[in-house]
Structure 1
């Protein structure tokens, strides 16, 4: 047990495996921010699929054991390290990449990976921005370089990244087509910006999509 330090609760992984390897500990030392780092009091943490692959040991990234999972968190600045002048204690923020892990009461992050959290977003929404929306933005604007008036097909659009792609593409003036495998998923896709949605479990859904667009479209 850590002694002489401020302690926190955190999820720790001591061996790779299934969900059962996630262990809640209440005697984990609160990390101290160093140069260009900030300490965030975590109010919400995103859970991304890649974290399950890392935890299971099947991903190419294999952190040193033990470790605390979690990259996307939202919360309030608790402390700042040297030269981290962008933020001050009490600022509402979110980050896309924690250093110490996000499944904890406090998390370290490099200041260049931390962003102000707008007042109109709550902490749960802030914790959901990082991986899904940054991935969607890079795919659309950096890789595909989409332009208003073009068409985009989002395959499996009812997931976190897919919904983010639908929202961003609609905001940029694209015609958005999405696919999902259930009626509930299709409804969610329509609610999040898609003009049309198709059931990718139907054998002829590709033909239906082709009839809906009269020119080349981008598939994501």
Structure 2
């Protein structure tokens, strides 16, 4: 009899109510694939984008991009993992919301013994995102200012720590005094409560009127124009998410008018698409965690059966730090 696993799927796009748990056949890994039994699963905003159809998937579809567990079987050609190995991943192929799954092996990484399964599940997509933002997107030097929106979120708290460990002066934004306190505790030099202060004016004040060389913005529609206004001449706007909705079309001439600004819209999955690059990025992230320069704070846990509640909390911005789904 074929082995099955509880798996969260959607058969239509919509709110958290469209999430369904079904028993699905797991199957054996083919060439270049592995089968992993999850110990913990990560929760990310991209899961919501896919559930709502902002990032369309072919239906029915399984959700979830990040997890950690034990390798049960490997397919032909897989040499960096063996059955019994601890592993963690961020994958371009959804399906992590499951007790077990088969997926391409290239982006599955051996998980060091010093990092727990829960930490591994919570850190891969978000931590690798921070790694490419700070080290693979635009040159950032020690002492530079960076403006980082949503600084108390899952990516944000890792970014605060990463910046501090590299001597980068991170100015965060967050939506409450409590979230600002968290960002400051994790290494932000400043944190602006955007519900009480104009983040553009405050950023200009902090930088002596000049602005910052780099803005990292995962909020999207609500902060895009203001983010551009925070940049110094020749500054780089990194728009890497759409938590408030997609950025509407705009006149590219605006970049010239505001100081010959640069704009990029990267995605993690381009950076980790190459096997060697992905594994090297993961080793860099693991090293940061093992040295204690980055701590993975898991603030919320939801069982797989309560995945809809996890989505509601994330969408309502009721979460801080990392959130995992337990199996």
> Under a length normalisation based on structure 1, what TM-score does the superposition of the two structures give?
0.89
1:139 maps onto 2:136 in alignment: no
Distance of aligned partners of 1:200 and 1:111 in 2 relative to their CA distance in 1, 3 Å threshold: same
Structure 2 distance, partners of 1:178, 1:99, is 31
1:107 maps onto 2:101 in alignment: yes
Q: Name the SS of the counterpart of 1:51 in structure 2.
A: helix
Distance of aligned partners of 1:208 and 1:58 in 2 relative to their CA distance in 1, 3 Å threshold: closer
Q: 1:118 — aligned with what?
A: 112
Contiguous gaps of at least 5 residues in structure 2: 217-327
* Kept in 1: contact 2:89–2:125 (CA 8 A): no
Q: 1:219 — aligned with what?
A: 215
Distance of aligned partners of 1:200 and 1:124 in 2 relative to their CA distance in 1, 3 Å threshold: same
Q: CA deviation at 1:204?
A: 4.2
2:179 aligned to 166, 185, 190, which one? Answer: 185
* Kept in 2: contact 1:31–1:100 (CA 8 A): no
Q: 2:170 — aligned with what?
A: 176
Q: 2:7 — aligned with what?
A: 10
RMSD: 1.8
Structure 1 distance, partners of 2:71, 2:85, is 5
For residues 1-220 of structure 1, the aligned pairs below 5 Å read 4-26=1-23, 28-59=24-55, 62-97=56-91, 99=93, 101-214=95-208, 216-217=211-212, 218-220=214-216
How many correspondences in the alignment?
A: 214
Q: CA deviation at 1:97?
A: 0.3
Structure 2 distance, partners of 1:113, 1:204, is 40
Q: Name the SS of the counterpart of 1:83 in structure 2.
A: coil
CA offsets 1:17-53 (integer angstroms, 9 cap, x no match):
2211111113x10132111111111111111112112
Q: Name the SS of the counterpart of 2:173 in structure 1.
A: strand
Q: Name the SS of the counterpart of 1:128 in structure 2.
A: helix
